[in-house]
A and B are shown apart, each in its own frame.
Chain A
Amino acid sequence: MKQKVSIIIAVALAMLMSLSLVQAQDNVIKIASQTPLSGPQSVLGVSMRNAVELAIEQLSGPIEELGFKIEFVPYDDEAKPDKGTSNANLIVADESILVVIGHLNSGVALPASEVYNGSNLAMISPANTNPNITDRGYPTVSRVCGRDDLQGPTGAEFANQLGVKSVYVLHDTTAYGEGVARFFRQRAEELGITVLGFEGTEETANFDSLIQPILALNPEMVYFGGIYSQMGIFLSQARAQGFDGLFMGPDGTDSSEFAQLAGEAGVGTYYTSVAGPANIYPNAAQFIEDYKEKFGEPPQPFAAQAYDATAIALLGLQSAIEEAGGKPTREQVAKAIRAVTDYEGLTGTITFDANGDPEIGLYYVLQVVSADPAEWSNNELLATLEIPSPLTAAAAKEE
Chain B
Amino acid sequence: MASTTITNAPNPNRRALLATGFALAYVVVAVLALILVDRNSLWYPLYNVFAYSMYVLSPILIISLPIPNPIKFGGLAILLLIVTPMLGIYNNSYMEIAVQICIFAGLALGLNIVVGFAGLLDLGYVAFFAVGAYLWAVFTSTSETVFKLNGWLVPGEMFWVFLVIGVFIAAFVGILLGLPVLRLRGDYLAIVTLGFGEVIRILARNANDPINITNGAQGLIGIGKPPVPDLLHGITNEAIRIMSLRVDNPGFVAQQLLFYLIAVGLLVLIIVISRRLEDSPIGRAWTAIREDEVAAKAMGVPLVRMKLAAFATGASFGGAIGVLYAAKQAFVDPTSFVLLQSIIILAMVIVGGMGSIRGVILGAIAMTLLNLHVLTNLSLQLNALRNVNFIVPIIDFPIRNWPNQLEPAKYQPLIFGLVLVLMMIFRPEGLMPAERRKLELKAEREESAGLDEQAAPQPKGDA
Contacts and interface: CB of A to CB of B under 8 A. Distances in A.
Interface of A: 1-3, 5-6, 9-10, 12-13, 16-17, 19-26, 28, 37-39, 42, 46, 50, 71-76, 78-83, 85-87, 89-90, 92-96, 105-107, 110-111, 114-115, 118-120, 130, 132, 136, 173-175, 177-179, 200, 295, 329-331
A12 B100 contact: no
A46 B407 CA distance: 11
Given A93-B91, A132-B218, A78 B412 contact: yes
Nearest to A25: B40
Interface stretch (B328-336, B392-400, B429-437): B328-336
Nearest to A113: B331
B37 A21 contact: yes
Given A3-B4, A16-B50, A38-B410, A81 B39 contact: no
Contacts of B100: 82, 86
Contacts of B255: 118
Given A86-B97, A107-B333, A94 B4 contact: no
B218 A16 contact: no
B335 A76 contact: no
Contacts of A105: 335
22 contacts: A2-B4, A13-B29, A13-B50, A17-B33, A20-B43, A22-B41, A25-B40, A38-B410, A71-B384, A72-B383, A73-B383, A74-B407, A76-B379, A90-B376, A94-B39, A107-B219, A110-B219, A110-B330, A110-B331, A118-B249, A132-B143, A329-B248
Contacts of B330: 110-111, 114
B414 to A, nearest CB: 9
A175 B47 contact: no
Contact of A13 (B3, B33, B410, B413): B33
Interface in B1-34: 1-5, 29, 33
Contacts of A130: 218
B93 interface: yes
Contacts of A23: 41-42
Contacts of B119: none
Contacts of A50: 404
Nearest to B407: A37
Contacts of B41: 19-24
A6 B50 CA distance: 12
B95 interface: yes
B96 interface: yes
Interface string B45-78: 0110011001000000000000000000000000
A5 B1 contact: yes
B345 to A, nearest CB: 12
B221 A110 contact: yes
Q: Is the interface of B mostly helix, strand, loop or mixed?
A: helix
Given A3-B5, A74-B383, A76-B409, 12 more contacts: A13-B33, A17-B37, A20-B44, A21-B37, A24-B40, A38-B409, A93-B92, A111-B330, A173-B217, A175-B217, A179-B218, A200-B217
A13 B387 contact: no
Contacts of A42: 410
A37 B387 CA distance: 19
B347 to A, nearest CB: 15
B38 A24 contact: yes
Given A6-B1, A107-B333, A173-B205, A20 B47 contact: yes
A3 B22 CA distance: 11
A227 B216 CA distance: 19
B46 A16 contact: yes
B336 A82 contact: yes
Interface in B374-426: 376, 379-380, 383-384, 387, 404, 407, 409-413
Listed from nearest, the 8 A-B pairs whose CB atoms lie closest are A118-B252, A89-B96, A20-B41, A76-B409, A110-B331, A93-B93, A90-B93, A89-B93
Contact of B95 (A20, A89, A114): A89
B40 A28 contact: yes
Contacts of A6: 1-2
Nearest to A70: B387
Interface-central residue, A23, A74, A87, A89, by most chain B CB under 10 Å? A89
Contact of A175 (B2, B97, B219): B219
B343 to A, nearest CB: 13
B42 A111 contact: no
Contacts of A132: 143, 218, 221
A372 B51 CA distance: 53
A37 B409 contact: yes
Interface-central residue, B41, B91, B222, B412, by most chain A CB under 10 Å? B41
Given A13-B50, A20-B47, A38 B413 contact: yes
A329 B249 CA distance: 13
B218 A175 contact: yes
A188 B40 CA distance: 54
A228 B217 CA distance: 19
Contact of B412 (A76, A85, A87): A76
Nearest to B36: A17
Contact of B217 (A3, A86, A174): A174
Given A26-B40, A120-B249, A178-B217, A16 B47 contact: yes
Contacts of A174: 217
B333 A175 contact: yes
